[in-house]
Structure 1
């Protein structure tokens, strides 16, 4: 989340920028005012739904 003091949002933005520069595709989820956990505001449901979607698309 944007309030994460373990992995700062700036690190995520830098990482995504480097992936894009390398021509790699990625999905990014940023949860406003959330910390490093995926608890609260339905974020856990969103994260796991995205993971399931990824596996369905890529493990055929």
Structure 2
């Protein structure tokens, strides 16, 4: 897997995990929703990058 792609996956994973933590610890319901939305989008990006990587690896074979 390309190093740059791995770095992006790691970055989005860290963002997702941090947003999930802030959503759990926030006492402001509106902020909780914002953090949940951020976590969901970061998770979607991780899945998309992994899927694209698998497809590229298949094409390379």
| Higher-helix-fraction structure | 2
TM over 0.5: no
TM-score, normalization: structure 2? Answer: 0.36
Larger Cα Rg: Structure 1 or Structure 2?
A: 2
